[in-house]
Structure 1
Amino acid sequence: MGKVMTHMTMSLDGFVADPDDQVGELFEWYETGDVSVPNPNETVSFQVDDASAQVLRELTGNCGALVAGRRLFDIADGWGDKHPAGAPVVVVTHRAPEDAAARWPTTTFVDGAEAAIVKAKQIAGDQDVTIASAAVIQQALDLGLVDEVCVSLVPVLFGEGIPYFAKLGRGHPLLDDPIVVQGRRALHLRYPVRR
């Protein structure tokens, strides 16, 4: 059985986007190297340093399903039904778009974070599930459904915006010591969640 992990690129002060949902300099690390990391979405390219390439390969190589929130899904226009992780997407939403089956045939729409993770685990089988939306990550942490928290920490300060972690309702989740990989323009951290 795979694990349930999170991954977001985050500013040093804890934000995954500015108040207008723009990532600004956060994704700069995806274009700062000579190593190309292929993905199934022809509109997205990754040209990273050696260390970041290894991190990307680890994050996407065993990803069997990705969970996203409706807000991120809408901003990305459903990634054209080809998420760069190369896995089917499960979207947390109260209502699927009317044209969902025609526009995004490999995407599943589910009401609620817990139901989305259950569905993603079914889709992923023995592979990992990656949660890639801040609000869904917060809910999944509160529900005790996350095995590993991954952060690509970028040296920029946003001052305000959409936080990676906020309003955790069930106390303080404890994490084990991180696995640390220094990349160019990003410090990659992987924290197993303590059980």
Structure 2
Amino acid sequence: MGKVFSHMTMSLDGYIAQPDDGIGELFEWYGAGDVTVPSANEGITFQVDEASAAILRDLTEDTGALVAGRRLFDIADGWGDRHPAGAPVVVVTHRPPADAAEKWPTTTFVDGVAAAVERAKRIAGDKNVTIASANITQQALALGLLDEVCVSLVPVLFGEGIPYFSALGGGHQLLEDPVVVQGKRALHLRYPVRR
């Protein structure tokens, strides 16, 4: 069985987006190299350095399902029902869109983080489940559902915005020592969750 991990690109001061949901320079590393990493979405290709390419391939090729929040899903317009990772998406929401079945037939809408992670695990089978939402990551961590926290740390300071982590349910959460990969315009960190 695969792992459940989160991955977000984060500013040095801890933000995954600006206050208006803009990403500013956060995704600059996706175009900072000469190694092409295609995605499952024809309109998206990545041009990264060799070290970042290995990380990106690992994050996408081993993903069997992705869990996202409704906010990100709406901002990305459901990725046209084809997320760049190539995996089915499970969206955590209390109210699925009225036209969900027609517009996003491969997307599953689930009420609650625990139920979404469980559904994603069933969909993923032996592959990994990736959580692509700060709020859902925090909830999954508090529920003991997360195996690893992944951060692509980029050299920009936002000063304000949407944090990757804010109030954690249950207080301090210890993580194991990170696996560190230096990329161009991003430092990739993978922290196993201490049980």
Band of TM-score, shorter chain: over 0.9
2:43 maps to 43
1:98 maps to 98
* C-alpha separation in 1, matches of 2:37 and 2:133: 22
2:12 maps to 12
1:144 maps to 144
Identify the range of structure 1 (66-75 vs 39-48) with the bigger mean alpha-carbon deviation: 39-48
**Which of structure 1's runs of 4+ aligned residues deviate more than 4 A?**
none
Identify the range of structure 1 (37-46 vs 178-187) with the bigger mean alpha-carbon deviation: 37-46
Letter in 2 for 1:139: Q
Structure 2 unmatched ranges of 5 or more = none
- Give CA-to-partner distance per residue, 1:25-84, whole Å, 9 cap, x none: 000000011101111112212000000000001111110000000000000000001101
Letter in 1 for 2:7: H
1:79 maps to 79
Letter in 1 for 2:8: M
Aligned length: 195
The answer to whether the Cα contact below 8 Å between 2:153 and 2:186 also exists between their aligned partners in 1 is yes
* C-alpha separation in 2, matches of 1:43 and 1:161: 28
Q: Secondary structure at the match of 1:156?
A: coil
Structure 1 unmatched ranges of 5 or more = none
* C-alpha separation in 2, matches of 1:127 and 1:26: 27
Q: TM-score, normalised by structure 2?
A: 0.99
1:50-69 alignment to 2 at 5 Å? 50-69=50-69
2:3 maps to 3
The answer to whether the Cα contact below 8 Å between 2:151 and 2:190 also exists between their aligned partners in 1 is yes
- Could you tell me the percent identity over the aligned residues? 76
- Give CA-to-partner distance per residue, 1:67-112, whole Å, 9 cap, x none: 0000000000000011011100000000100110111111000001
Q: Does 1:28 align with 2:28?
A: yes
1:125 maps to 125
- Give CA-to-partner distance per residue, 1:131-177, whole Å, 9 cap, x none: 00111111101111000000000000001100000110112111000
2:114 maps to 114
Letter in 1 for 2:39: N
Q: TM-score, normalised by structure 1?
A: 0.99
Letter in 1 for 2:104: W
* C-alpha separation in 2, matches of 1:44 and 1:70: 21
